[in-house]
Chain A
Amino acid sequence: MITRAQLHQQNLKKIFYPDSVAIVGANKVAGTVPCDILMNILKADFNGIVFPVSPKEKFIAGVKAYKYVVDIQDEVDLAILVFPSSVCHMALEQCGQKGIKSAIIISAGFKEVGKDGLVLENQIKEIAVRYDMSFIGPNCLGVINTDPQSKINASFARRMPDEGSIAFLSQSGALCTAVLDYAYAKHIGFSKFISFGNKADISEIDLLYYLKDDPKTKVILMYLEEVTDGVALMEAAGKIITETRKPILILKAGRTSAGASAAASHTGSLAGSDEICDAAFRQAGIIRCENIEEMFNKAIAFAYQPIPKNNRVAIITNAGGPGVLTTDAVIRQGLHLAKLSEETTAILKKSLPKTANTNNPVDVIGDARADRYNIAMSAAFKDDNVDGVFVILTPQSMTDIDLIAREVAKVSSHYDKPVFTSFMGEADVAVGIDVLQRNKIPHYILPESMAVAFSTVYNFSQSVNHRTFNPIDIEETARVKANRILDSAISTGQKYLTENEATQILDFYGLPVIENGLAQSADEAVSLAVRFGFPIVMKVMSKDIVHKFDVGGVVLNIQSEQEARNAYMAIIENVHRKLPSAKIDGVMVRKMISVGEEVILGAKRDPSFGSVVMFGLGGIFVEVFKDVAFRIPPIGESVAKSMVESIKGYPLLSGVRGSNPRDVAGIVQCIRRLSQLVTDCPQIRELDINPLIVLDEGKGVFVADAKIML
């Protein structure tokens, strides 16, 4: 039985490569969507047959029109629906009857307008399922395929873009038109251009999988307003990147929208929806962009140039200042200025004026013309110490801008190393920029952007490796026992587990909890204290108390039997006084671990990504600096390790200024086990282990406190 996702992959072929298209709801009125879409298809020289379907017209633009799609005798591969939303279901029903499996629904007036629109949207979804159809939209600009085999412009964009190797998908149709115009001005072409609108049927996930296998697509760009299924998105991205090495760049809107919950837990207050999204994208290898310009700056680097084998850059410039700026940017991006070989330096010294700088950056000086650029570039490209070349130009009176641009295109074409350019200025350099763009040489207004783009490509190439995930070994009984406690708590209306219950669950999953006991009298407390050994910690256990410190329910550093007795009685008295309604289950007694680094581990359920795990150093690092890292389960060994190493405070764990390294391996294991716990137990809404005490390397880690919210 074929799944809906598999069906979409089949039907998407006819969306992008139809032999015949019916525009259902077409008309003759120029300037309207139903007319302009038909005209776009005809103007783009579509490689197939077009059937306008119009209730009123017998012909449109010289092409025979049909009253109903069922009147068309020939097979129709793709239907483009441009009727008003109120009758789209009727049109789609007829398409289904005709045996059409693929559709693009351009019409607006569905879910995005509210309840009434949602009803209409559900109607068309039901029809699509019934007829094994797939559709893109509704409420979209349409779809463009520049492949000469198809050349379909099934959209109401102003123009057909140039052919290229970049695929662009967008949830916003209006943004699509702006992007098309922007790209056209820069001679950036597309392989596929897709506005997916309300994604009522085919989603961005389906489109990603299609593009994974599209030989015309080298780079995938996406604009997203919401992440509906974050886990599926991460999985798709992971597969695409691992199997095809196609980079995925996403511009996701809504960075500043609220998402962090009220401070029920540290994790809850820190894990806003955008932080989670950020972490998830990074974990999946998705490159997140802040704006359209950045997205395309990086996209053209991927699409037009070979991947650098290493990160050593040669800078060729006719101006010292920009050369320095670029050098700063190179270093800031973690790249290296290539150390030119003696042979290269000798060539440059021999061929360039004495005033030229023959070290890197190579300054061919202000009066340089194309010949000097040729010499410098050729020498740099030939140098084995150089992995990529940056070419900077400032327009002096004698600078032959377009010739230099042609020289860049000519010289670089002989080498399998990337070249990036920055012809600084706007008016005079425009002619050169045009040459570069037409020759698919990445050009950037600011020289620093060359460094950003290069480092993005280089880092991506280094990070692409086959990610294997080995699940941690957890006994089945652990899952059963943990779920039993959680389900029981939920059934009694508990919002929080007691620390005792929480630590039990952590213990089932192999997280190292400090041995503890529950005392219900002062004598029991003393007896436990003696058993565990001083110093001791005591904490009140009550389903009615979340913040134990606030009610005087915690005593630390108890050093003797008498102190233990006094502490027990003080705790009981404090709670009775401050929260008389609280039902006390007892006082937890455990050994106090006073050495070690305090870290925080946490987890939170997320509507898009399922759950998220957080790690950070404790205390001020999390409270003030918010120096935390997030990852999405399942979390394997390497991801857990990278999570720990990614925080700014990591040197405190790895050993700094002569201090011993801490048990990072222990933290990594805890992260993995926590990841498995929250995957197995979706009842857990939020979880804090704060602190997890980390001793010296090899000496272990211990859960000192835990909260679980349901």
Chain B
Amino acid sequence: MEKVDIGERVKSVVAKVLKMNISEIADGANFVFDLGADSMQSLELVAGFEEEFGIEMDEDKALRIQTVEDAVLFIAGYLN
């Protein structure tokens, strides 16, 4: 899957969990600092990504991901 596609799908999950418009989500956005995710929402994001992409991620490593960009790369690693 192309990174662009992954990026779109990641952003749609983020928009859903954080209840915001996709247009407000920049590629380099930090989940906490720029998008305001709290700790519960961080867990929801991990679960959301797993469901969206049909993968099971290492939760500790997943929770260390800080930005949208890094999430795309992390998920791409699982898919490829």
Interface set of A (CB-CB < 8 Å, partner B): 27, 29, 32, 54-57, 83-84, 86-87, 90-91
Contact yes or no, B35 A87, CB < 8 A: no
Contact residues of A: prevailing secondary structure: loop
How distant is the Cα of A32 from the Cα of B38 in the complex, in angstroms? 11
Chain A: CB-nearest residue to B63: A86
Binds A, one of B2-10, B26-34, B47-55, B72-80: B26-34
Contact yes or no, B38 A83, CB < 8 A: no
Contact yes or no, A27 B33, CB < 8 A: no
How distant is the Cα of A54 from the Cα of B36 in the complex, in angstroms? 7
Q: Which residues of B contact A32 (CB under 8 A)?
A: 38
Q: Which residues of A contact B34 (CB under 8 A)?
A: 55
Q: Which residues of A contact B66 (CB under 8 A)?
A: 86-87
How distant is the Cα of A386 from the Cα of B46 in the complex, in angstroms? 74
Chain B: CB-nearest residue to A67: B34
B39 at the interface (CB under 8 A from A): yes
Contact yes or no, B18 A56, CB < 8 A: yes
Chain B: CB-nearest residue to A94: B33
CB distance from B17 to the nearest CB of A (A): 12
> Known contacts A87-B30, A87-B66, A90-B30; is A55 also within 8 Å of B39 by CB?
no
Chain B: CB-nearest residue to A90: B33
Contact yes or no, A87 B33, CB < 8 A: yes
CB distance from A498 to the nearest CB of B (A): 57
Q: Which residues of A contact B18 (CB under 8 A)?
A: 56
Most A CB atoms within 10 A — which of B30, B33, B35, B38?
B33
Q: Which residues of B contact A27 (CB under 8 A)?
A: 36, 38
B20 at the interface (CB under 8 A from A): yes
Q: How many chain-B residues does the 8 Å CB contact rule pick out?
A: 11
Contact yes or no, B38 A55, CB < 8 A: no
Q: Which residues of B contact A83 (CB under 8 A)?
A: 32-33
Q: Which of A56, A86, A90 contacts B35 (CB 8 A)?
A: A56
Chain B: CB-nearest residue to A29: B38
CB distance from B15 to the nearest CB of A (A): 13
Chain A: CB-nearest residue to B32: A87
CB distance from B57 to the nearest CB of A (A): 18
CB distance from B4 to the nearest CB of A (A): 25
Q: Which residues of B contact A54 (CB under 8 A)?
A: 36
Interface residues of B in 62-76 (CB under 8 A from A): 66
Contact yes or no, A91 B38, CB < 8 A: no
Q: Which residues of A contact B38 (CB under 8 A)?
A: 27, 29, 32
How distant is the Cα of A128 from the Cα of B18 in the complex, in angstroms? 31
Q: Which residues of B contact A29 (CB under 8 A)?
A: 38
CB distance from A82 to the nearest CB of B (A): 11
Q: Which residues of A contact B32 (CB under 8 A)?
A: 55, 83-84, 86-87
Contact yes or no, B36 A84, CB < 8 A: no
Chain B: CB-nearest residue to A84: B32
How distant is the Cα of A276 from the Cα of B35 in the complex, in angstroms? 51
10 residue pairs of the A-B complex, CB under 8 angstroms, read A27-B36, A32-B38, A55-B34, A56-B20, A56-B35, A86-B66, A87-B30, A87-B32, A90-B30, A91-B33
Q: Which residues of B contact A86 (CB under 8 A)?
A: 32, 66
Q: Which residues of A contact B33 (CB under 8 A)?
A: 55, 83, 87, 90-91
CB distance from B71 to the nearest CB of A (A): 14
Contacts A55-B36, A90-B30 supplied; 14 other A-B pairs, CB < 8 Å: A27-B36, A27-B38, A29-B38, A54-B36, A55-B32, A55-B33, A55-B35, A56-B18, A56-B20, A57-B36, A86-B32, A87-B30, A87-B33, A87-B66
Chain B: CB-nearest residue to A24: B33
Which 5 residue pairs spanning A and B have beta carbons closest together?
A55-B36, A56-B36, A87-B33, A87-B32, A90-B33
How distant is the Cα of A54 from the Cα of B37 in the complex, in angstroms? 11
How distant is the Cα of A83 from the Cα of B34 in the complex, in angstroms? 11
How distant is the Cα of A503 from the Cα of B38 in the complex, in angstroms? 67
CB distance from A437 to the nearest CB of B (A): 41
CB distance from A567 to the nearest CB of B (A): 72
How distant is the Cα of A29 from the Cα of B18 in the complex, in angstroms? 14
Q: Which residues of A contact B36 (CB under 8 A)?
A: 27, 54-57
Q: Which residues of B contact A57 (CB under 8 A)?
A: 36
Chain B: CB-nearest residue to A87: B33
How distant is the Cα of A55 from the Cα of B33 in the complex, in angstroms? 7
Q: Which of A84, A90, A91 contacts B39 (CB 8 A)?
A: A84
How distant is the Cα of A80 from the Cα of B19 in the complex, in angstroms? 26
Q: Which residues of B contact A90 (CB under 8 A)?
A: 30, 33
CB distance from B11 to the nearest CB of A (A): 16
CB distance from A68 to the nearest CB of B (A): 8
How distant is the Cα of A27 from the Cα of B41 in the complex, in angstroms? 14
Chain B: CB-nearest residue to A55: B36
